[in-house]
Amino acid sequence: MVSTILFSAFAVLAVAGAAGLVLLRHPMNGAMSFIMTLIALAGLFALLSAKLIFAIQLIVYAGAIMSLILFIIMFLNIGEKDLPDESNRWFYFGGGAVVIAPLAIFLLKVVNKLPSCEATIVGDSFGSVKGVGMVLFTEWLLPFEIVSILLLVALVGAVVLAGKREGKL
């Protein structure tokens, strides 16, 4: 019962935040509504007892990445007058809705056809830091390492690019 109420609340918040991101004109409003979406998604992860993903969603997405975006918005101090003219954007929204509507109806039908099943609480180690770590470092070690190398390449690239510009100045 409580989890159903929480799920509905988080779902409404997530959708409202996503709509706000698209509809609101001021970049700060957009960023703040996106933060709302990310926090609501973290709440949904927590409802699925995926504790580690909950924490990572809050630390990485809602915490680090969005605070960088907010930082840039503040740094550039973008106001309403700096934004491009978007007077015909409602026309685009309408067109987008018409294009997406069949897909949405199809998805709704698919979801309604799913067999209903009772939600049960899985074992204590599911989704915890230890549980995810064990699975990650035994069964999924190779994909994990490949993704780490990808991130390392990006990090080295960022340092090299930042260093180059400093050298020229």
Partner 1 sequence: MSALDILLVILRIAFGAFVPLSFVAVLVWMERRGAGYFQDRSGPNRCNVLGFRAGGLIQNIADAVKLIFKEDIVPGHIKHKLYFILAPTLVFITAILSFAMVPFADTLVLNGKEYIMQAIPADLGILWFLAVVGFGVYGIILAGWSSHNKYGVLGGLRAAAQVISYEIPMGLALVSLLTIYSTVNLSEMARFQGQLLFGFIPMWGVFLQPLGVIIFIVAAFAETNRTPFDLAEGESEIVAGFHVEYSSMKFALFFMGEYVAMFVSSALIVTLYFGSYQIPWFSTETLVNHSKPVVFLLMLAMPVAAYFFNIWMKKNNRSQYERPNDPRVFEAQVYAAVIWSIVIFIEIIFLGFLIFSSGAGGARILVALLQIACFLFKTFLMCFVYIWVRWTLPRFRYDQLQRLGWQRLLPLALLNIFITSAVVVSLA
Residue ranges that bind partner 1, judged by CB under 8 A: 28, 32, 35, 51-52, 54-56, 58-59, 62-64, 66-68, 70-71, 73-75, 77, 128-130
Comparison of 64 and 154: residue with beta carbon closer to partner 1: 64
Smallest separation, CB 74 to partner 1 (Å): 4
Comparison of 11 and 56: residue with beta carbon closer to partner 1: 56
Contact 1, 47 (CB under 8 A): no
Smallest separation, CB 52 to partner 1 (Å): 8
Smallest separation, CB 35 to partner 1 (Å): 7
Amino acid at 90: W
d(C-alpha 65, C-alpha 34), whole Å:
11
Contact 66, 30 (CB under 8 A): no
Comparison of 89 and 130: residue with beta carbon closer to partner 1: 130
The span from the first CA to the last CA of the chain, in angstroms, equals: 62
Smallest separation, CB 132 to partner 1 (Å): 11
Comparison of 59 and 97: residue with beta carbon closer to partner 1: 59
- Structure tokens of 56? 């990572």
Closest CA to 83 of 27, 20, 140: 27
For residue 20, what are the contacts with CB-CB under 8 A and spacing of at least 6? 29, 30, 32, 33, 34, 36
- Structure tokens of 53? 């993903």
Comparison of 12 and 59: residue with beta carbon closer to partner 1: 59
Smallest separation, CB 70 to partner 1 (Å): 5
